[in-house]
Amino acid sequence: MALLEILDVSRRFGEFTAVDNVSFAVEAGEFFTLLGPSGCGKTTLLRMIAGFDLPDAGRILLDGRDLADTPPERRPIHTVFQSYALFPHLTVAENVAFPLKMAGLAAAEIKRRTAEALDDVRLADKGGRYPHELSGGQKQRVALARGLVNRPRLLLLDEPLGALDAKLREEMQLELINLQKEVGVTFVFVTHAQAEALALSHRIAVMNEGRVEQMDEPSKIYGFPKNRFVADFIGNINMMQAKVARAEASRLLLDVPGLGTVEAPPRPDAAPGAAGVFAIRPEQVRISAEDHPVELKNRFVGTVHDLLYIGDVTTYIVDLPNGVKVEALLANSAPGRAQLFEAGDRVAVAWRHDAGMFLHE
């Protein structure tokens, strides 16, 4: 039996449907992420799991038990809020001890477990400080310690890394992964940052307009997006209008205006004549000089329109015939190299026949 089960849950605010008939299950020990743009319903869903809001339809089960009649304080579920929500009038240690006190534990036990929890997040020496005396990363760790100290069945994290700067965020990501492994508590993480979701999660549910678009492991979500929304939302992707010309067991032949025939991986549900897009990640597109021989069938010649030097990689935007634009990624692995091509250079772009995918309209 799954730890948390969301069964056909819907929530409406007036005319607006925030969560639209969503179902999924989270296994014990899992790091599960709800990913989507703002307003996709992920926070509403989180609030219903925590008990701050109730579904209009459907059920939320924890260990098989319906939570509908359980107020937030009686659910063995704790939340790490986006703003951390540390009590400003209490010290760090008092903040961490709060859930233990509410649970009615003995004073000695509270003291021991508070010290332990602060130790886990490397804040053993900060117990006497007040939240406003801490840095953003430290506040974050106090919030985590407070959320975990009473061993909840489930820890909900609402964009907890949103307020941190990029460098700190990366550090905290590693720390979160390790902490989750260590304590073994199930995490349900909410974020709109796809890179964060890919890095942290065991499984991701991509949400849009109140519905779950796709639910899978990070590599599957990134590599095999189910539809245009998921493909577009997760990472960068090239998309070009395409029509299925021929559907075979081992491959699809697509007709892409301007390029001609493009060979793509097979798809059982793609029938000849079906309209959609051909989508391919920039890092799967190889770029080379026009006259450089390439043994790939999907090879097209164009002009470098623009380039973006990001440091580790350079993104080239290549103009192909008929206004098709393709982005290609090239790693700057040679020392001191910033780019191989200039804007205006004639180049060839190519990709393997098993790269990219056809997505229906």
Partner 1 sequence: MRRGPLLWAAALLAYAFLYIPLIVVVVFSFNDSKLSAAWVGFTTQWYVALLHNEAMLGAAFNSLVIALLSSAFATLLGTMAGIAMHRYKLRFLPFLVITPVAMPEILLGVSLLLFFIQVLHLTLGMLSIVIAHTTFCVGFVAIVVRARLAGMDESLFEAARDLGATPWQTFRLVTFPLILPAVIAGALMSFTLSLDDFVITFFTAGVGVSTLPLQIYSMVKIAVTPEVNAVSTLLMLMTLSLIIAASRFSPHLFKAKA
Which residues in the chain belong to E strands, given as ranges? 4-13, 16-26, 31-35, 57-62, 65-66, 77-80, 154-158, 186-191, 203-208, 211-216, 238-247, 252-256, 260-264, 275-280, 286-289, 298-309, 313-319, 325-331, 346-351, 357-360
Q: Is 121 in the site for partner 1 (CB under 8 A)?
A: no
Selected binder of partner 1 within 54, 57, 68, 103 (CB under 8 A):
103
CB 188 within 8 A of CB 46: yes
Among residues 17, 21, 82, 241, the one that binds partner 1 under rule CB under 8 A: 82
Site membership for partner 1, residue 150 (CB under 8 A): yes
| 89 near partner 1, judged by CB under 8 A | yes
78 vs 286, beta carbon nearer partner 1? 78
Site size for partner 1 (CB under 8 A): 24
CA–CA separation, 157 and 189 (whole Å): 5
Token pair 């307020």 is found at 163
CB-nearer residue toward partner 1: 157 or 280: 157
- Select the residue interacting with partner 1 from 42, 146, 169, 286 (CB under 8 A): 146
Euclidean distance between CA atoms 346 and 290, whole angstroms:
6
Judged by CB under 8 A, the residue of 32, 98, 300, 358 near partner 1 is 98
> Would you say 85 and 163 are in contact if contact means Cβ atoms under 8 Å apart?
no
Nearer to partner 1, 73 or 291 (CB): 73
Which residue of 6, 34, 46, 77 would you call a contact of partner 1, by CB under 8 A? 77
Q: What is the maximal distance between C-alpha atoms in the chain?
A: 78
**Nearer Cβ to partner 1 (103/195):** 103
Segment interacting with partner 1 (CB under 8 A) among 143-151, 277-285, 311-319, 322-330: 143-151
Residue 87 touches partner 1, criterion: CB under 8 A = yes
In the complex, the smallest distance separating the C-beta of residue 71 from partner 1, rounded to whole angstroms, is 7
Residues with Cβ < 8 Å from 297, sequence gap 6 or more? 263, 353
CA distances from 19 to 58, 113, 168, 209, 237 (A): 11, 38, 32, 8, 27
Contacts 24+ apart (CB under 8 A), 318-321: 318/287, 318/347, 318/349, 320/258, 320/259, 320/349, 321/258, 321/259
Q: Does 102 bind partner 1 (CB under 8 A)?
A: yes
Residue with smaller CB distance to partner 1, 127 or 276? 127
Q: Least Å distance between CB 169 and partner 1?
A: 20
Binding mask 23-52 for partner 1 (x = CB under 8 A): ---------------------------xxx
- Of 65-73, 120-128, 167-175, 250-258, which segment contacts partner 1 by CB under 8 A? 65-73
Between CA 11 and CA 18 the distance in angstroms is 6
**H/E element, 194:** helix 194-200
Least spacing, CB of residue 81 vs partner 1, in Å: 4
Q: Summarize as ranges the residues that interact with partner 1 (CB under 8 A).
A: 50-52, 71-74, 77-79, 81-83, 85, 87-89, 98-99, 102-103, 146-147, 150
